[in-house]
Amino acid sequence: QKEVEQDPGPLSVPEGAIVSLNCTYSNSAFQYFMWYRQYSRKGPELLMYTYSSGNKEDGRFTAQVDKSSKYISLFIRDSQPSDSATYLCAMSLSSNTGKLIFGQGTTLQVKP
Amino acid sequence: GAVVSQHPSRVICKSGTSVKIECRSLDFQATTMFWYRQFPKQSLMLMATSNEGSKATYEQGVEKDKFLINHASLTLSTLTVTSAHPEDSSFYICSAQGALNTGELFFGEGSRLTVL
Protein backbone atom coordinates (compact mmCIF):
# COMPACT_ATOMS: atom_id res chain seq x y z
CA GLN A 1 0.00 0.00 0.00
CA LYS A 2 1.32 3.41 -0.94
CA GLU A 3 1.68 5.96 1.84
CA VAL A 4 -0.33 8.47 -0.15
CA GLU A 5 -3.05 7.51 -2.58
CA GLN A 6 -4.37 9.84 -5.23
CA ASP A 7 -6.60 9.05 -8.17
CA PRO A 8 -4.60 9.92 -11.30
CA GLY A 9 -7.71 10.76 -13.31
CA PRO A 10 -7.87 12.30 -15.81
CA LEU A 11 -10.65 14.51 -14.57
CA SER A 12 -12.45 16.60 -17.16
CA VAL A 13 -14.88 19.36 -16.19
CA PRO A 14 -16.57 22.30 -17.96
CA GLU A 15 -15.40 25.81 -17.28
CA GLY A 16 -17.00 27.25 -14.17
CA ALA A 17 -17.45 23.90 -12.44
CA ILE A 18 -16.40 23.18 -8.89
CA VAL A 19 -13.55 20.71 -8.82
CA SER A 20 -12.84 18.35 -5.95
CA LEU A 21 -9.46 16.66 -5.69
CA ASN A 22 -8.64 14.19 -2.94
CA CYS A 23 -5.90 12.18 -1.33
CA THR A 24 -5.88 9.54 1.34
CA TYR A 25 -2.90 8.55 3.40
CA SER A 26 -1.92 5.82 5.79
CA ASN A 27 0.61 7.44 8.14
CA SER A 28 -1.21 9.19 10.96
CA ALA A 29 2.01 11.00 11.89
CA PHE A 30 1.78 13.35 8.92
CA GLN A 31 1.23 16.88 10.19
CA TYR A 32 1.76 19.15 7.20
CA PHE A 33 -0.26 18.93 4.04
CA MET A 34 0.32 20.65 0.74
CA TRP A 35 -1.16 20.88 -2.70
CA TYR A 36 1.06 21.55 -5.68
CA ARG A 37 0.13 22.35 -9.26
CA GLN A 38 2.35 21.07 -12.03
CA TYR A 39 2.05 22.06 -15.64
CA SER A 40 3.40 19.73 -18.27
CA ARG A 41 7.20 19.49 -18.26
CA LYS A 42 7.49 22.02 -15.43
CA GLY A 43 8.34 21.83 -11.76
CA PRO A 44 5.57 21.84 -9.13
CA GLU A 45 4.38 25.13 -7.68
CA LEU A 46 2.91 25.39 -4.23
CA LEU A 47 -0.81 26.18 -4.10
CA MET A 48 -1.86 25.51 -0.54
CA TYR A 49 -0.12 24.65 2.69
CA THR A 50 -1.98 23.55 5.80
CA TYR A 51 -1.09 22.25 9.21
CA SER A 52 -3.16 19.58 10.95
CA SER A 53 -6.92 19.38 10.50
CA GLY A 54 -9.15 22.14 9.26
CA ASN A 55 -9.86 24.32 6.27
CA LYS A 56 -7.85 26.96 4.51
CA GLU A 57 -9.10 29.23 1.78
CA ASP A 58 -7.14 31.24 -0.76
CA GLY A 59 -9.12 32.84 -3.53
CA ARG A 60 -10.82 30.14 -5.58
CA PHE A 61 -8.95 27.39 -3.74
CA THR A 62 -9.96 25.69 -0.50
CA ALA A 63 -7.91 22.99 1.18
CA GLN A 64 -9.43 20.66 3.75
CA VAL A 65 -7.68 18.25 6.05
CA ASP A 66 -9.46 15.55 8.03
CA LYS A 67 -6.82 13.79 10.06
CA SER A 68 -9.32 11.46 11.71
CA SER A 69 -10.15 10.03 8.29
CA LYS A 70 -6.65 10.51 6.87
CA TYR A 71 -8.21 12.39 3.99
CA ILE A 72 -7.35 15.70 2.38
CA SER A 73 -9.13 17.65 -0.31
CA LEU A 74 -8.60 20.58 -2.61
CA PHE A 75 -11.59 22.41 -4.01
CA ILE A 76 -11.37 24.74 -6.97
CA ARG A 77 -14.33 27.07 -7.50
CA ASP A 78 -15.23 28.65 -10.82
CA SER A 79 -12.65 26.52 -12.58
CA GLN A 80 -10.86 28.04 -15.55
CA PRO A 81 -9.09 26.49 -18.55
CA SER A 82 -5.86 27.83 -17.08
CA ASP A 83 -6.43 25.51 -14.11
CA SER A 84 -5.78 22.56 -16.40
CA ALA A 85 -2.74 20.87 -14.92
CA THR A 86 -1.70 18.00 -12.70
CA TYR A 87 -2.42 18.52 -9.02
CA LEU A 88 -0.19 16.76 -6.53
CA CYS A 89 -0.91 16.36 -2.87
CA ALA A 90 2.08 16.12 -0.57
CA MET A 91 2.62 15.70 3.12
CA SER A 92 5.37 15.66 5.67
CA LEU A 93 5.98 14.69 9.26
CA SER A 94 7.26 18.03 10.42
CA SER A 95 7.74 21.57 9.25
CA ASN A 96 11.50 21.50 9.20
CA THR A 97 11.92 18.82 6.65
CA GLY A 98 11.72 18.88 2.90
CA LYS A 99 11.08 15.17 2.80
CA LEU A 100 7.71 15.32 1.21
CA ILE A 101 5.69 12.28 0.32
CA PHE A 102 3.74 12.96 -2.83
CA GLY A 103 0.60 11.48 -4.26
CA GLN A 104 0.62 10.32 -7.84
CA GLY A 105 -1.09 13.48 -9.02
CA THR A 106 -4.50 14.04 -10.61
CA THR A 107 -4.63 15.39 -14.13
CA LEU A 108 -7.34 18.00 -14.49
CA GLN A 109 -8.70 19.37 -17.74
CA VAL A 110 -11.08 22.32 -17.69
CA LYS A 111 -12.86 22.66 -20.99
CA PRO A 112 -13.95 26.11 -22.23
CA GLY B 1 7.97 33.70 -4.31
CA ALA B 2 11.48 32.38 -4.16
CA VAL B 3 13.09 31.29 -7.40
CA VAL B 4 14.92 28.05 -7.97
CA SER B 5 16.61 27.56 -11.30
CA GLN B 6 17.65 24.29 -12.87
CA HIS B 7 19.99 23.76 -15.79
CA PRO B 8 19.86 22.22 -18.28
CA SER B 9 16.11 21.87 -18.77
CA ARG B 10 16.62 19.08 -21.28
CA VAL B 11 19.60 16.88 -21.98
CA ILE B 12 20.12 13.93 -24.28
CA CYS B 13 23.20 11.80 -23.83
CA LYS B 14 24.65 8.52 -24.93
CA SER B 15 24.66 5.50 -22.67
CA GLY B 16 27.76 5.37 -20.51
CA THR B 17 28.35 9.10 -20.30
CA SER B 18 27.88 11.30 -17.24
CA VAL B 19 25.49 14.21 -17.00
CA LYS B 20 25.52 17.08 -14.51
CA ILE B 21 22.39 18.97 -13.53
CA GLU B 22 22.62 22.23 -11.59
CA CYS B 23 20.13 23.61 -9.12
CA ARG B 24 20.45 27.22 -7.99
CA SER B 25 18.49 29.29 -5.52
CA LEU B 26 18.46 32.73 -7.11
CA ASP B 27 17.16 35.03 -4.40
CA PHE B 28 17.74 33.23 -1.15
CA GLN B 29 20.29 31.02 0.55
CA ALA B 30 19.27 27.40 0.57
CA THR B 31 20.75 25.48 3.45
CA THR B 32 19.08 22.34 2.22
CA MET B 33 18.22 21.17 -1.25
CA PHE B 34 16.35 18.07 -2.30
CA TRP B 35 16.55 16.03 -5.46
CA TYR B 36 13.45 14.27 -6.75
CA ARG B 37 12.87 11.99 -9.66
CA GLN B 38 9.63 11.71 -11.59
CA PHE B 39 8.77 9.08 -14.16
CA PRO B 40 5.95 9.74 -16.66
CA LYS B 41 2.55 9.79 -14.98
CA GLN B 42 4.19 8.96 -11.66
CA SER B 43 4.69 10.93 -8.51
CA LEU B 44 7.84 12.68 -7.40
CA MET B 45 10.14 10.38 -5.48
CA LEU B 46 12.75 11.84 -3.18
CA MET B 47 16.24 10.67 -4.11
CA ALA B 48 18.45 12.53 -1.68
CA THR B 49 18.77 15.45 0.70
CA SER B 50 21.67 17.79 0.12
CA ASN B 51 23.05 19.98 2.90
CA GLU B 52 25.57 22.72 2.22
CA GLY B 53 29.08 21.64 3.11
CA SER B 54 28.25 18.06 4.03
CA LYS B 55 27.56 14.76 2.38
CA ALA B 56 24.15 14.11 0.91
CA THR B 57 21.72 11.76 2.55
CA TYR B 58 20.30 9.26 0.11
CA GLU B 59 16.95 7.54 0.27
CA GLN B 60 16.77 3.80 0.40
CA GLY B 61 17.35 2.22 -2.96
CA VAL B 62 19.17 5.20 -4.47
CA GLU B 63 22.74 4.41 -5.50
CA LYS B 64 25.18 6.91 -4.04
CA ASP B 65 27.86 6.18 -6.60
CA LYS B 66 25.40 6.49 -9.42
CA PHE B 67 23.88 9.80 -8.42
CA LEU B 68 26.59 12.09 -7.11
CA ILE B 69 25.36 15.15 -5.26
CA ASN B 70 27.46 18.14 -4.37
CA HIS B 71 26.23 21.14 -2.39
CA ALA B 72 29.28 23.36 -2.41
CA SER B 73 27.58 26.66 -1.64
CA LEU B 74 24.36 28.01 -0.17
CA THR B 75 22.99 28.68 -3.63
CA LEU B 76 24.12 25.72 -5.70
CA SER B 77 23.65 21.98 -5.62
CA THR B 78 24.57 19.64 -8.45
CA LEU B 79 23.40 16.16 -9.35
CA THR B 80 25.67 14.09 -11.56
CA VAL B 81 24.25 10.96 -13.13
CA THR B 82 27.30 8.81 -13.73
CA SER B 83 27.57 6.19 -16.46
CA ALA B 84 24.02 6.89 -17.50
CA HIS B 85 21.83 4.14 -18.88
CA PRO B 86 18.46 4.32 -20.65
CA GLU B 87 16.65 3.38 -17.43
CA ASP B 88 18.02 6.60 -15.89
CA SER B 89 15.92 8.58 -18.35
CA SER B 90 13.57 10.61 -16.20
CA PHE B 91 12.53 14.05 -15.06
CA TYR B 92 14.81 15.27 -12.28
CA ILE B 93 13.55 18.09 -10.07
CA CYS B 94 15.32 19.91 -7.29
CA SER B 95 13.78 21.88 -4.48
CA ALA B 96 15.26 24.27 -1.99
CA GLN B 97 14.51 25.20 1.57
CA GLY B 98 15.71 28.46 3.07
CA ALA B 99 17.37 28.96 6.39
CA LEU B 100 14.23 30.55 7.79
CA ASN B 101 12.18 27.45 7.21
CA THR B 102 8.45 27.84 6.93
CA GLY B 103 7.91 24.32 5.80
CA GLU B 104 7.56 25.44 2.23
CA LEU B 105 9.73 24.17 -0.54
CA PHE B 106 10.44 25.93 -3.78
CA PHE B 107 10.88 23.73 -6.79
CA GLY B 108 13.00 24.15 -9.87
CA GLU B 109 11.61 23.76 -13.36
CA GLY B 110 13.01 20.27 -13.70
CA SER B 111 15.52 18.68 -16.03
CA ARG B 112 14.47 16.02 -18.50
CA LEU B 113 17.20 13.48 -19.10
CA THR B 114 17.04 11.12 -22.05
CA VAL B 115 19.73 8.46 -22.31
CA LEU B 116 20.04 6.84 -25.72
List, for residues A5-39, the tens digit of each pLDDT value.
Answer: 998 889 999 999 999 999 999 999 998 999 999 99
- The rounded mean pLDDT for chain A is 92
Q: Which residues pair with A92 in a beta bridge?
A: A32
- The rounded mean pLDDT for chain B is 89
Instruction: Give which of B44, B46, B71, B91 to mutate to test A binding, by max A Cβ within 10 Å.
Output: B44
Which SS3 state, helix, strand or coil, does residue B74 take?
Answer: coil
- The set of residues, in sequence order, having a beta carbon less than 8 Å from that of B39 and lying 6+ positions away, is B90, B91
Rounded distance between C-alpha atoms, residue B40 and residue A41, angstroms: 10
- Residue A43 has a CB neighbour count (10 Å cut-off) of 22
- The set of residues, in sequence order, having a beta carbon less than 8 Å from that of B42 and lying 6+ positions away, is A104
pLDDT digits (tens, 9 = 90+) for B48-103: 999 888 889 999 999 999 999 998 888 999 999 999 999 999 999 999 886 555 55
Using 50, 70 and 90 to split pLDDT, how confident is the model at A96?
low
User: How far is the alpha carbon of B112 from chain A, nearest alpha carbon, in Å?
Assistant: 8
Asked if pLDDT for residue A1 goes beyond 80, the answer is no
> Could B1 and A103 be called an inter-chain contact, meaning their C-beta atoms sit closer than 8 Å?
no
Asked if A35 contacts A48 with a C-beta cutoff of 8 angstroms, the reply is yes
Residues of B in contact with A95 (CB under 8 A): 101-103
CB contact, 8 Å: B107 with chain A?
yes
- The set of residues, in sequence order, having a beta carbon less than 8 Å from that of A59 and lying 6+ positions away, is none
Largest separation between any pair of C-alpha atoms in chain A: 41
Looking at residue A16, its amino acid is: G
Q: Which of B42, B102, B107 sits opposite A44 (nearest CB)?
A: B107
State what percent of residues in chain A have pLDDT above 70: 96
